[in-house]
Chains A and B, each alone.
Chain A
Amino acid sequence: MDREKLDQTRAPIYEALEKFREMRVVPFDVPGHKHGKGNPELTAFLGEKCVGVDVNSMKPLDNLCHPVSVIHDAELLAADAFGAKHAFLMVGGTTSSVQSMVLSCCKQGDKIILPRNVHRSVINSLVLCGAIPVYVNPDVDHRLGISLGMSRDNVKKAIDEHPDAVAVLVNNPTYYGICSDLRAIVKMAHDAGMLCLADEAHGTHFYFGENMPVSAMRAGADMAAVSMHKSGGSLTQSSLLLIGENVSERHVRQIINLTQTTSGSYLLMSSLDISRRNLALRGKDVFRKVVQMAEYAREEINAVGGYYAYGRELINGDSIFDFDPTKLSVHTRDIGLAGIEVYDILRDEYDIQIEFGDIGNILAYLSIGDRMQELERLVSALAEIKRRYKKDPDGLLSQEYIDPEVVCSPQEAFYSNKKSIPIEKSAGFVCSEFVMCYPPGIPILAPGERITESIIDYIQYAKAKGCSMTGSEDPDINNINVLE
């Protein structure tokens, strides 16, 4: 495909699958369900059209491990749409994009500068490659109890103190929609000879909407992991990895192939292809509508009183350099309820499922799939919850950032000899596993960090409020694994 003449109305993988369907090819290859005929129950459930294109790599459909035709063309179109040097179609979730991104630039013993409120997939990739995290303390908004972006000074300090680090990783944005000054951080990293990586799991729409925070590629970042399946509309588990001019496409392809399946799903790949086409052609309108809905919901929720649905007024020029206007985050603590309690009541009593609730906030995820009538339900349900359950907020814990003490690398901690001890007796020990609330999946403890009394208090409180805790070997987190 000639890059000069890329036509965003095309969807090469989708087109090849349509052609494949018409050819009525007789399958004597995998998958064994043979276009669904061998598994009637599955076919009845998912539909013939769907299972009919659940097929294996073959010449007319290309091969994800070494793309030369339609997958390669789809990647070029995606790169063009996102303004990247190259885009890799990913089928292992954005976790696989994040891991490939980190593994592409870090090896054993390398340092990587990153905010502590990263997704677990980032620290998991450090367990895999043996790199050492240098955490930048993200600022905290004390009223809302949420971690913010990294301030420029804190990033500069980390770069000055660790000039041997190989990369700086930035959340663009955080789960709550908060952006750091990405352009400035890219420049600082590049001036120090480091790469700049962006976790854009929640930032697909930055590439297409108007008046959005700057996207990683436009800010000059070197790599970005983009969750197409979140705001981009593709199927769950599909994702994109973008690279800029400073990164070798061949090297990244080799890294991806270390851990990626050799049987890439055409359902996932075609969903990326069709979604990219939709975003390139209609993304601007789509996200204008989403922003309008979010702005309307913020006004209405704030009119209910007691709740605080926050938006761009938070911007402070540094640790909240920008705010994602599609995010509907609501602070609930002032009505005397933890976010997780509101989250549970919405689901159990109002049949409304939102993205997550933490100690002080809830997040409702808005997308082009939403309609005004459902937003009215959400706002009305919040008004009702306030009427029925409002109480004195005293005694509710406010979420605070706990500065981690990194004792050893996540890899060393993960693979060392360990023992299980009761959590209330674990203060002072070095943790060898993750503890987190999921979602949002940001670790409270990561392997290699010292356990403190305040961390134990926080875990006990989150458990008592009904947060779903994950990551540790003991699902109830009564016991915790520590280094011997």
Chain B
Amino acid sequence: MNLWFSEYHAPDVRHSLRVTRHLYSGKSDYQQIDIFDTPEFGKVLALDGDVMLTERDEFIYNEMITHIPMSVHPNVQDVLVIGAGDGGVVKELTRYESVKRIDLVEMDPQVIEVCRTYLPENACKLDDTRVHIFFDNALRFIRRSTDEYDLIIVDSNDPFGPSEGYFTREFYGICYNALRSDGIMVNQQGSPFYKHDAEAMQRSHKRIVNTFPISRVYQAHIPTYAAGYWLFGFASKKYHPINDFDEERWKSLHLSTKYYTTKLHIGSFYLPAYLEKMLMEVES
């Protein structure tokens, strides 16, 4: 069978995966949800036709969005996770014993249901007793909290659909307000390569810079995302991602990882020249 799934990474660029089976297709109140099986990337979750994760490369995203802040903040107890209905971020977080509470806010219950059924490897820790799942709009949920979390992880879709609200000044503002005085917010920041993505990345970076005293961008290689090159935002009230990075403390936890290393931690904040320039343009 010669069935291909294609996704536009830019108006004139497509990324295609050969599909062996279409396992699930359904429309929730919010979006189109699909799961299909592919020879190269394993099972794939797509929302409104955009690839959210694949079994093959999800570890890169989930490790980088979780272990970077967890190795900087000395004592993360209360965590808020936005989106991430697939459970990948939660799975990484539950590996830390210091974490006492994980509040997961996902708009769409159907995403969690589908992932529990088709991606049990990712969703396996959603039933951990520390995890509390809230089906709500994240803006609505967060603006009720003040000084409540040590870490907020924003694992949203791209900024051109239902997740647009998670890339706004008001969103970053209420996250700031919901964090304790030494809290950290990490978000997926898109790709700097194609024009449309790059402009959105600049806009959101500018808004974070205007909200948090410390704001740095770090990178990872994620094959199924646009240009295979992805950015994360590290925004913080107190801790610097490199100066306050405690390598020994993290190593003493003996967590095994497939992508993240303490050397890569530092390296991921060293950015190519064109990207540095883009960030500087909006920082001044």
Interface residues of A (CB under 8 A from B): 300, 304, 349-351, 372-374, 376-377, 379-381, 383-384, 387-388
Q: What residue of chain A has the Cβ atom nearest to residue B139's Cβ?
A: A376
Q: Which of B137, B169, B174 contacts A373 (CB 8 A)?
A: B137
Determine the distance from Cα of A376 to Cα of B177 in the docked complex, in whole angstroms. 16
Interface SS of B by simple majority: helix
Q: Which of A374, A379, A387 contacts B173 (CB 8 A)?
A: A387
Tell me the smallest distance from the CB of B138 to a CB of chain A, in Å: 8
Q: What residue of chain B has the Cβ atom nearest to residue A387's Cβ?
A: B177
**Known A384-B174, A387-B177; contact A376-B169, beta-carbon cutoff 8 A:** no
Whether, in the assembled complex, B164 has its beta carbon less than 8 Å from a beta carbon of chain A, the answer is yes
Determine the distance from Cα of A244 to Cα of B213 in the docked complex, in whole angstroms. 64
Determine the distance from Cα of A381 to Cα of B174 in the docked complex, in whole angstroms. 9
A351: B residues at CB distance < 8 A? 168-169
Interface SS of A by simple majority: helix
Q: Which of A379, A381, A383, A387 contacts B169 (CB 8 A)?
A: A381
Tell me the smallest distance from the CB of B14 to a CB of chain A, in Å: 25
Whether, in the assembled complex, B120 has its beta carbon less than 8 Å from a beta carbon of chain A, the answer is no
Count chain A CB atoms within 10 A of each CB in B137, B171, B173 and give the residue with the most.
Answer: B173
A379 touches B139 (CB 8 A): yes
Determine the distance from Cα of A379 to Cα of B174 in the docked complex, in whole angstroms. 11
A304: B residues at CB distance < 8 A? 143
**Known A372-B137, A384-B174, A388-B173; contact A379-B168, beta-carbon cutoff 8 A:** no
Whether, in the assembled complex, B74 has its beta carbon less than 8 Å from a beta carbon of chain A, the answer is no
B168 touches A350 (CB 8 A): yes
B140: A residues at CB distance < 8 A? 300, 376, 379-380
B169 touches A384 (CB 8 A): yes
7 tightest A-B CB contacts, nearest first:
A384-B173, A381-B170, A376-B139, A380-B170, A380-B139, A383-B143, A376-B137
**Known A379-B139, A383-B143; contact A373-B162, beta-carbon cutoff 8 A:** yes
Given A304-B143, A384-B173, 17 additional A-B pairs, CB 8 A: A350-B168, A351-B168, A373-B164, A374-B165, A376-B165, A377-B168, A377-B170, A379-B140, A380-B140, A380-B143, A380-B171, A380-B173, A380-B174, A381-B169, A384-B177, A387-B173, A388-B173
Q: What residue of chain A has the Cβ atom nearest to residue B164's Cβ?
A: A373
Query: Which residues of B in the span 133-148 have a Cβ within 8 Å of any Cβ on A?
Result: 137, 139-140, 142-143
Q: What would 22 A/B residue contacts be, using CB atoms closer than 8 Å?
A: A300-B140, A350-B169, A374-B165, A376-B139, A376-B140, A377-B139, A377-B165, A377-B168, A379-B139, A380-B140, A380-B142, A380-B170, A380-B173, A380-B174, A381-B169, A381-B170, A383-B143, A384-B169, A384-B170, A384-B174, A387-B173, A387-B177
Query: Which residues of B in the span 163-187 have a Cβ within 8 Å of any Cβ on A?
Result: 164-165, 168-171, 173-174, 177
Determine the distance from Cα of A383 to Cα of B142 in the docked complex, in whole angstroms. 11
Determine the distance from Cα of A376 to Cα of B168 in the docked complex, in whole angstroms. 11
Determine the distance from Cα of A377 to Cα of B137 in the docked complex, in whole angstroms. 10
Determine the distance from Cα of A377 to Cα of B143 in the docked complex, in whole angstroms. 10
Determine the distance from Cα of A372 to Cα of B164 in the docked complex, in whole angstroms. 12
Tell me the smallest distance from the CB of A329 to a CB of chain B, in Å: 20
Determine the distance from Cα of A377 to Cα of B164 in the docked complex, in whole angstroms. 10
B177: A residues at CB distance < 8 A? 384, 387
B173: A residues at CB distance < 8 A? 380-381, 384, 387-388
Tell me the smallest distance from the CB of A146 to a CB of chain B, in Å: 26
Determine the distance from Cα of A377 to Cα of B173 in the docked complex, in whole angstroms. 11
Determine the distance from Cα of A349 to Cα of B174 in the docked complex, in whole angstroms. 14
A372: B residues at CB distance < 8 A? 137
**Known A376-B137, A379-B139; contact A349-B169, beta-carbon cutoff 8 A:** yes
Q: What residue of chain B has the Cβ atom nearest to residue A384's Cβ?
A: B173
A377: B residues at CB distance < 8 A? 139, 165, 168, 170-171
Determine the distance from Cα of A384 to Cα of B142 in the docked complex, in whole angstroms. 12
Tell me the smallest distance from the CB of B210 to a CB of chain A, in Å: 8
Tell me the smallest distance from the CB of A386 to a CB of chain B, in Å: 11
A374: B residues at CB distance < 8 A? 165
A387: B residues at CB distance < 8 A? 173, 177
Determine the distance from Cα of A379 to Cα of B170 in the docked complex, in whole angstroms. 9
Interface 1/0s, chain B 121-159, versus A by CB < 8 A?
Answer: 000000000000000010110110000000000000000
Determine the distance from Cα of A376 to Cα of B144 in the docked complex, in whole angstroms. 12
